[in-house]
Amino acid sequence: MSKAFTKESDGGEDDDDLSLPPLPAGTRNYMTPQGYLRLRTELINLIDTERPKVVEIVHWAASNGDRSENGDYIYGKKRLREIDRRIRFLTKRLDIAEVADPSQHHGSDQVFFGATVTYETQAGVSRTITIKGIDEADALQGEVSWVSPVARALLKSREGDEVQLMTPGGLERLEVIQVRYPAPPTAH
């Protein structure tokens, strides 16, 4: 069989943005300093450690002869494409990142990027979320992206304010109970 019929897709540039939602048009890619550092550390690790290891494995596997049935070679090439795709994605996101330090709002009762907000729903359910960047928000940790509906409803409100959130079940009122920011780093 011709190699043209067995070649896997390279998963070109169009796959770069699949792992995270796209940024809304005309907006900046806000990140906390910790989020920026985490993504930058991942990028450096991929470039300096992961990729060279996989390249070495692929080179060794290629030297063993028949590549069509060589699992190390086939898996290595696939892994290399995944790493390269992630490197391109991280590079693009970090290039357009705007680091916003939430500690500059320490002591404020108004909701801005980086705030940890406790709010109460109409049903009396209390929830606490932290508003973070698209690339760093983790719902399992109570973190939401600043472009999420709940974050957009809360932004610029103050403690004691009531905001409206459009949900699939209809309009819901949320009362802002508490707004917190991390303390600024202490200078030594």
Q: Does 171 have pLDDT greater than 80? A: yes
* 63 and 117 belong to one structural domain: no
* 111 and 161 belong to one structural domain: yes
Residues paired with residue 117 on neighbouring β-strands, in sequence order: 129, 179
Q: Which among 76, 99, 122 is the end of a domain?
A: 99
Q: Specify if 43 maps to a domain.
A: yes
Q: Which among 99, 117, 143 is the end of a domain?
A: 99
* 116 and 88 belong to one structural domain: no
Pairwise CA distance, residues 117 & 174, whole Å:
11
> Which of 99, 100, 104 lies closest to 183, judged by CA?
104
Average pLDDT over the chain, rounded to an integer = 86
Q: Specify if 174 maps to a domain.
A: yes
Q: Domain range holding 116?
A: 102-180
Beta sheet of 143-145, edge-to-edge order: 143-145, 126-132, 116-121, 170-180, 162-167
Q: Which among 99, 122, 147 is the end of a domain?
A: 99
Q: Specify if 10 maps to a domain.
A: no
pLDDT tens profile 138-160: 999 999 999 999 999 999 999 99
* Cut 0.85: pTM above it: no
**Weakest-pLDDT range from 21-35, 54-68, 129-143:** 21-35
Q: Specify if 186 maps to a domain.
A: no
pLDDT tens profile 27-39: 778 999 999 999 9
* 123 and 168 belong to one structural domain: yes
Q: How many domains does the chain have?
A: 2
The CATH number given to whatever domain includes residue 40 is 1.10.287.180
* 111 and 87 belong to one structural domain: no
